Amino acid sequence: MDELDKLKGAWKSQDYSIHKVSSKDIYKMLQAKSTSYVKWIFYISIIEFLFVIALNLLFDNDKYLEVYDEMGMHNLIITVSIISYGIMIVFMYLFYKNYKNICVNTDAKTLMDSIFNTRKTVKTYIYFNIGFMAVTSFILFSQIFSSDKNISIYKATSNVPEDFSTTYLIVAIVIVMTLFIGLVLLAYRIIYGILLRRLKKNYKELEPLDK
């Protein structure tokens, strides 16, 4: 039994004169836990942002930009990259804003509102990212397979034999991208999902205090 459970047990067993003090103690405990979870959501978003930057630095971007330039996709790739980084920065700001808001709550109702908004922001981030990934992948590969020249360049860059069926290649890419996006979604659900479930539990614990 953790400290919060002990406080709840003591709260229920006390008389009304002490009841208010105990509810304050429980509120403070729930606020502290919720603040910690929201802080970790913000930290994880920073780690994710740095991880994406590190991946880009590890790969030879100049080489790939030359290839995309040959395909006439240079501007498209730059635009997608800028939008992708922009989305991550905007949500990092929103996570930080949620963290600052949850630190200054003074009653159960406002804390519950902050928890609700945080969970909503995280869910929006997850599905927006997955959606953006799916849409941009479709656009990029549609551009690649829009001409025989681009298909040949892609096959040469990816070490795919020139005589390999384009239809089979498209099917293979769709399968790989579907699996990749599915793994990203699973990772999001595991990493952010743990914190969201804990925030949901705190939200339910706060409901009796809001009466």
pLDDT-derived band at 16, boundaries 50, 70, 90:
very low
Q: What pLDDT is attached to residue 207? A: 79
Cβ 113 vs Cβ 106: under 8 Å: no
Full DSSP string of 113-133: HHHHHHHHHHHHHHHHHHHHH
Report yes or no: 88 and 45 within 8 Å, Cβ to Cβ: yes
What is the structure's pLDDT at 171?
A: 92
Mean pLDDT value of segment 79-106? 88
Half-sphere exposure of 203 (CA within 13 A, CB side): 16
pLDDT at 10 exceeding the cut of 70: no
pLDDT at site 185: 92
